[in-house]
Amino acid sequence: MHAVIQRAVDAAATDIPVLITGETGTGKDLLALGIHKRSQRKDFPYIPVNAGAMTPELIASEFFGHEKGAYTGAAGIHKGVFEQAHKGTIFLDEITTMDEKSQVSLLRGLETKTFRRVGGEKRIFESMFG
């Protein structure tokens, strides 16, 4: 455990993505929260997202948000977790349970640091990522 804690402290001192692996119930979320609380992002939101609990139809809207009228029931603008976390931390849990198309979409947003709300035309850029 001392080695894990030291790695978490080291990760908190840098501004890089961190991959935490382990079986369900091993405390990945607690470790991620600990890293967040020791990082330069500590004053910004920490948002844990259980991707395994989302239906494929709602994943894009939950991650990237949607515009009014994007689909039936979209009565207004909804900010997805990337906008909600503005300069903070998003803990993505159970991403391997997502369908392949959603994983590709998520990866593209993370790589390019841009996204578009569902039904939107305007790209939201890197400033949302910190």
pLDDT at 130 over 60: no
Q: What's the burial of 91, exposed, middle or buried (CB within 10 Å: 0-12/13-18/19+)?
A: buried
The mean predicted confidence, pLDDT, of the chain is 90
**Average pLDDT for residues 44-56, to the nearest whole number?**
91
Distances (CA, A) of 69 to 24, 56, 81, 113: 37, 19, 19, 25
pTM: 0.84
Residue 35 sits in a domain of what CATH number? 3.40.50.300
Residue numbers of the domain that contains 119: 2-129
Domain count, the chain: 1
Tell me: the pLDDT tens digits for 79-125? 999 999 988 999 999 888 898 998 998 898 888 888 899 998 888 87
pLDDT of residue 128: 54
pLDDT of residue 50: 92
Q: With cut-offs at 50, 70 and 90, classify the pLDDT of residue 71.
A: confident
